Chains A and B, each alone.
Chain A
Amino acid sequence: DAGVIQSPRHEVTEMGQEVTLRCKPISGHDYLFWYRQTMMRGLELLIYFNNNVPIDDSGMPEDRFSAKMPNASFSTLKIQPSEPRDSAVYFCASRPARANYGYTFGSGTRLTVV
């Protein structure tokens, strides 16, 4: 199993540009989570999906952020337009239906908005 795969690993973009982060969860996992990690705020849950359906997006900071999960093997997190304060590491994680398995995290995407 290749684990949770995120791309790109690093992204540098100019303020105002659209940014799309990608995630492939582990096959058979029913839940997918998007987190943001910064020094100031630590780990923040942005949104999570259950069987491709968004369940809770209350952590999405503002309308510039959107996430989709068109099928069980792919999810995107989009920021449009991007701002310097969006600079962070974005993690995707997935887990099976049973909560006692815990999450498996991807390696993250380090986003820098200049």
Chain B
Amino acid sequence: AQSVTQLDSQVPVFEEAPVELRCNYSSSVSVYLFWYVQYPNQGLQLLLKYLSGSTLVKGINGFEAEFNKSQTSFHLRKPSVHISDTAEYFCAVSDLGETSGSRLTFGEGTQLTVNP
């Protein structure tokens, strides 16, 4: 079984400041890792994903995340945030890889609030 821990439930930042949203996971097997974003009154939207290869992955809206196997972490970063980045962000992990039984386990979410 796998689990995901998002270390911060709320992250307030000022516009144009850098931000890091932290995510740690646990799994006994190799994993796929995802970040989703949920804007108010909308569904979850895929931001980026790590499958294999380069540990630094880039996503939409200028976000990137780095997979660290030794730390079992997948932290999300953006060098300069905008007001429009205000949303809830979910980290998710999928084990079993490409087999038919795999499904996502989500973290509890981090509310990012960007203030002017």
Taking Cβ atoms with an 8 Å cutoff, the residues of A that contact B are 4, 31, 33, 42-43, 45, 48, 50, 55, 91, 93, 97-100, 102-108, 110
Given contacts A42-B108, A48-B103, contact A99 B97 (CB under 8 A): yes
Taking Cβ atoms with an 8 Å cutoff, the residues of B that contact A are 32, 34, 36, 41-46, 49, 51, 90, 94, 96-104, 106, 108-109
Residues of A within 8 A of B106 (CB): 42-43
- State whether B32 touches A99 (Cβ < 8 A): yes
Chain A contact residues, majority secondary structure = strand
- State whether A99 touches B102 (Cβ < 8 A): yes
Given contacts A42-B109, A43-B90, contact A100 B43 (CB under 8 A): no
- State whether A103 touches B32 (Cβ < 8 A): no
| A–B pairs, 30, beta carbons within 8 Å | A4-B43, A42-B106, A42-B108, A42-B109, A43-B109, A45-B103, A48-B103, A55-B101, A91-B43, A93-B44, A98-B98, A99-B94, A99-B96, A99-B99, A99-B102, A99-B103, A100-B97, A100-B98, A102-B34, A102-B49, A102-B104, A103-B44, A103-B46, A103-B104, A104-B46, A105-B44, A106-B43, A107-B42, A108-B43, A110-B41
Question: Which of A50, A100, A108, A110 meets B49, CB within 8 Å?
Answer: A100
Residues of B within 8 A of A50 (CB): 100
Minimal Cβ-Cβ distance residue in A for B95: A99
Question: Which of A4, A97, A102 meets B46, CB within 8 Å?
Answer: A102
